[in-house]
């Protein structure tokens, strides 16, 4: 299952990330924010329109917004 | 012992760096661009406990030295002493958000590993406490090996201690005779693990986290309530911009008028007097009346940024903006451009991605700004009958609506084209941290407002001033023979003859060509200059508009009038916008590109409108 499919309110652990589908800059930015293998996250909000894009998730004490396209590259396991 | 000349603030975005910078330096700040990039350089003065002054620079927020944006690249190069013409800071003040330690310690390790003297400002300890987080600064100091000072920038707590530590940090280096700390280059996962352990070690007690923050987000980011609240807020903002700004704009207008009357009374009639009143005062006046709107709009924008709501608005609008290749970050700048493109373009500083930002700047002038309204109003009143298409839908209102839609659709299409051509690629998309909600501090908003107003006024004082003087010269020389009209005899008249050759095919007459020249200062000037051209004598603006409406409906054909409206949807007839675009893109390349493409669009669409109208027999 990928992060893209998680409903708001679901906690999960990122098990793997397919960096090859992300632009290098995007990958760097995601890693800088701590979104990497092993990160414990929780989806807290999803957008209003078109496929409920973007997503907001918490990691530690931080809230991060990203798009479905980024979330689709991340495999997750339920926490 | 050598003295400290420069210190720099470094840290993650949202660590409270700017608030700390404002608290340390006060309102006297120097703002410029770093040479060659569109990144803002903010510098101010601090006084160290020894009584010596030093320069403090506020470096752009960074997540890593493995940079992903021009902002982060500036920070890396300045800190590592690789930025040409920029002195390497002797002491780094590393700002950490106390409530977000685990995340901020990742970058902190990179900064400390450089080996320069570092002092840590453990900032916003009060907010951390509010969130139930009690921290042990001494434990953190031991773990990091550099001094740690707890601060609350907005309440000015810990500032003296911080400055004392900065002074000592330099002294210690002098005694050590070189680099203070020797860091190891750890990998990112290693740094992350170390950050986690250090953060855990520094936390004395922790209770449930961020209830207020999560509760606010539940309402403000709610899929149904969120957009309703956002649009409600924006509605209030626009009401304020138009309702509150009017008295101030009128007062400024009256002030300029009084000044002009004063000059007229004091100086004898002649060229110097005309130069002062019709050139300088009229020109600068036509631009300065926008200041109240700009200030009010920016008060709202700065408030949104300071509270943390701006990131939420971007989140809510992101999907919509994705459609044209932009991100939610572009929404507020573009919306602001409906009042005036100048604050819109200046507000693009919050767009992290440089290509997104440039695209937003380039399409901002297509939003129908308030200066177009007087022009639209006169032409619509003169040529569009006040009839109803359907019950309750007037034709005049419908035409005005169509003009707004034409601007928006034009902007969307241009954005799509630009993102696939000149500003293609490079998007770091929409990956951003959503800052915690905070009470805005009036002082910080005041400093921000003053800086924006000053940027605008300085432009009004330089480029705009020069251009209005040139326009006046064009309109005033050579002097007319008795009986001849001054505008016709002037250089502008000659230019209008040439312009007319180009503009005639799209239905414009010589009077229009002539009116377009002074209207380069600001669009609304077109109304006054048309009135001058048709020799309408009026005591006030209402009479002028009325007289003009009558004259125009007799002299222009309907296709000409429609073409004129289409022209103003696109034409970049605003020197201030060009001047601000030059500042924000740090060069003439993009403003010139903007001028060319907008005039081309204006020409093509005025032409299409004219010929379609003629073909339809209107």
In chain B, the residue whose alpha carbon lies closest to the alpha carbon of A71 is B431
Q: Shortest CA distance to B133 belongs to which of B155, B102, B163, B160?
A: B102
- Residues in chain B closer than 8 A to A70 (CB atoms): 429, 431
Instruction: Please indicate whether, in this complex, the C-beta atoms of A48 and B188 are within 8 angstroms of each other.
Output: no
For residue B574, the number of C-alpha atoms closer than 13 Å in the C-beta half-sphere is 30
Instruction: Please indicate whether, in this complex, the C-beta atoms of A25 and B226 are within 8 angstroms of each other.
Output: no
Any idea which of B237-251, B301-315, B469-483 has the lowest mean pLDDT?
A: B469-483
Q: How far is B116 from chain A (nearest CA, A)?
A: 22
A42 interfaces chain B, CB cutoff of 8 Å: no
ipTM: 0.95
User: What pLDDT is stored for residue B85 in this prediction?
Assistant: 87
- B430 closest CB neighbour out of A23, A31, A65: A65
pLDDT in tens, A40-60: 999 999 987 767 889 999 998
In chain A, the residue whose alpha carbon lies closest to the alpha carbon of B323 is A50
In chain A, the residue whose alpha carbon lies closest to the alpha carbon of B221 is A45
Return d(Cα B302, Cα B444) in angstroms, integer. 9
Return d(Cα B237, Cα B245) in angstroms, integer. 11
* Cβ–Cβ < 8 Å for B264, B273: yes
- Residues in chain B closer than 8 A to A50 (CB atoms): 319
Is the pLDDT at B175 greater than 80? The verdict is no
Q: How far is A12 from chain B (nearest CA, A)?
A: 18
Q: How far is A1 from chain B (nearest CA, A)?
A: 21
Highest-confidence segment of B436-450, B457-471, B586-600? B586-600
In chain A, the residue whose alpha carbon lies closest to the alpha carbon of B318 is A54
Structure tokens at A53: 């894009």
Is the pLDDT at B180 greater than 60? The verdict is no
Is the pLDDT at B501 greater than 60? The verdict is yes
Q: How far is B238 from chain A (nearest CA, A)?
A: 24
A25 interfaces chain B, CB cutoff of 8 Å: yes
Task: Give the pLDDT band of residue B177 (cuts 50, 70, 90).
Answer: very low
- Residues in chain B closer than 8 A to A33 (CB atoms): 63, 103, 431, 433
Is the pLDDT at B178 greater than 50? The verdict is no
* Cβ–Cβ < 8 Å for B108, B194: no
pLDDT in tens, B502-530: 999 999 998 899 889 888 888 888 887 78
Return d(Cα B508, Cα B488) in angstroms, integer. 17
Instruction: Please indicate whether, in this complex, the C-beta atoms of A25 and B428 are within 8 angstroms of each other.
Output: yes
For chain B, give the mean pLDDT: 87
CB pairs under 8 A between A and B: 109
Q: What are the structural domains, with CATH classification, of chain A?
A: 3-78 (2.30.30.90)
Q: How far is B87 from chain A (nearest CA, A)?
A: 27
- Write down the residue that tokens 């005039």 correspond to: B599
pLDDT in tens, B318-371: 988 888 889 998 998 999 899 889 889 988 988 888 889 999 999 999 999 988
Which residues have CB under 8 Å from B22's CB, separation 6+? B29, B153, B443, B444, B447
Instruction: Please indicate whether, in this complex, the C-beta atoms of B426 and A26 are within 8 angstroms of each other.
Output: no
Instruction: Please indicate whether, in this complex, the C-beta atoms of A29 and B99 are within 8 angstroms of each other.
Output: no
Return d(Cα B197, Cα B486) in angstroms, integer. 79
A7 interfaces chain B, CB cutoff of 8 Å: no
């Amino acid at each position: 299952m990928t992060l893209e499919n998680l409903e708001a309110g679901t906690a999960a652990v990122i098990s793997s990330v397919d960096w090859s589908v992300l632009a290098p800059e995007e990958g760097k930015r995601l890693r800088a924010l701590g979104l990497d293998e092993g990160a414990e996250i929780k989806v807290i909000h999803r957008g209003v329109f078109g496929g409920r894009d973007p997503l907001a998730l918490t990691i530690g004490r931080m809230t991060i917004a990203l798009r479905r396209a980024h979330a689709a590259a991340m495999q997750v396991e339920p926490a | 012992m050598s003295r400290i000349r420069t210190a720099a603030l470094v840290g993650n975005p949202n660590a409270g760096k700017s608030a700390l910078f404002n608290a340390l330096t006060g309102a006297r700040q120097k703002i410029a661009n770093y040479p060659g990039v569109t990144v803002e350089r903010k510098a101010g003065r601090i006084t160290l406990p020894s009584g010596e002054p030093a320069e403090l620079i506020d470096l752009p927020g960074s997540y890593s030295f493995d940079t992903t944006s021009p902002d982060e690249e500036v920070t890396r190069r300045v800190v590592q002493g690789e930025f040409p013409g920029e002195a390497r800071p002797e002491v780094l003040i590393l700002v950490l958000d106390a409530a977000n330690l685990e995340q901020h310690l990742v970058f902190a390790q990179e900064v400390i590993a450089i080996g320069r003297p570092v002092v840590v400002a453990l900032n916003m300890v009060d907010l951390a406490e509010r969130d139930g987080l009690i921290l042990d600064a001494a434990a953190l100091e031991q773990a990091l090996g550099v001094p740690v000072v707890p601060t609350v920038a907005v309440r000015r707590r810990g500032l003296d201690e911080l400055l004392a530590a900065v002074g000592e940090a330099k002294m210690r280096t002098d005694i050590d005779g070189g680099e203070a700390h020797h860091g190891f280059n750890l990998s990112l996962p290693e740094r992350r693990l170390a950050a986690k352990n250090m953060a855990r070690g520094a936390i004395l007690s922790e209770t449930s986290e961020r209830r207020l923050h999560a509760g606010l987000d539940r309402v403000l980011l709610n899929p149904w309530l969120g957009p309703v609240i956002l649009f409600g807020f924006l509605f209030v903002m626009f009401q304020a911009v138009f309702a509150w700004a009017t008295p101030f704009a009128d007062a400024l207008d009256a002030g300029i008028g009084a000044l002009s009357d004063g000059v007229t009374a004091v100086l004898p009639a002649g060229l110097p007097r005309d130069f002062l009143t019709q050139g300088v005062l009229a020109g600068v006046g036509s631009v300065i009346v926008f200041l109240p709107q700009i200030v009010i709009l920016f008060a709202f924008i700065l408030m949104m940024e300071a509270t943390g709501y701006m990131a939420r608005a971007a989140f809510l609008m992101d999907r919509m903006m994705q459609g044209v290749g932009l991100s939610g970050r572009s929404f507020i700048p573009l919306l602001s451009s409906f009042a005036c493109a100048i604050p819109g373009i200046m507000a693009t500083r919050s767009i992290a991605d440089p290509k997104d930002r440039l695209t937003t700047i380039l399409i901002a002038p297509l939003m129908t700004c308030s200066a177009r309204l007087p022009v639209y109003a006169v032409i619509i009143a003169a040529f569009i009958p006040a009839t109803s298409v359907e019950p309750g839908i007037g034709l005049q209102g419908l035409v005005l609506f169509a003009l707004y839609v034409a601007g928006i659709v034009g902007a969307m299409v241009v954005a799509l084209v630009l993102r696939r051509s000149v500003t293609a690629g490079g998007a770091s998309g929409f990956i951003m941290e959503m800052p915690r909600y905070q009470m805005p501090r009036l002082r910080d908003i005041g400093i921000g407002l003053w800086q924006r107003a000053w940027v605008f006024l300085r432009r009004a004082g330089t480029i705009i001033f020069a251009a209005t003087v040139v326009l006046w010269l064009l309109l005033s020389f050579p002097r007319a023979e008795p009986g001849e009209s001054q505008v016709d005899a002037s250089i502008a008249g000659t230019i209008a003859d040439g312009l007319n050759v180009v503009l005639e095919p799209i239905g414009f007459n010589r009077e229009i060509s002539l009116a377009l020249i002074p209207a380069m200062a600001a669009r609304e000037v077109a109304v006054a200059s048309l009135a001058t051209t048709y020799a309408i004598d009026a005591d006030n603006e209402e009479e002028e508009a009325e007289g003009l409406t009558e004259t125009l409906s007799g002299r222009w054909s309907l296709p000409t009038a429609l073409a004129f409206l289409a022209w103003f949807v696109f034409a970049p007839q605003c020197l201030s916008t060009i001047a601000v675009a030059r500042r924000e893109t740090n060069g003439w390349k993009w403003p010139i590109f903007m001028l060319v493409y907008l005039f081309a669009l204006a020409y093509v669409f005025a032409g299409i409108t004219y010929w379609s109208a003629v073909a339809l027999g209107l």
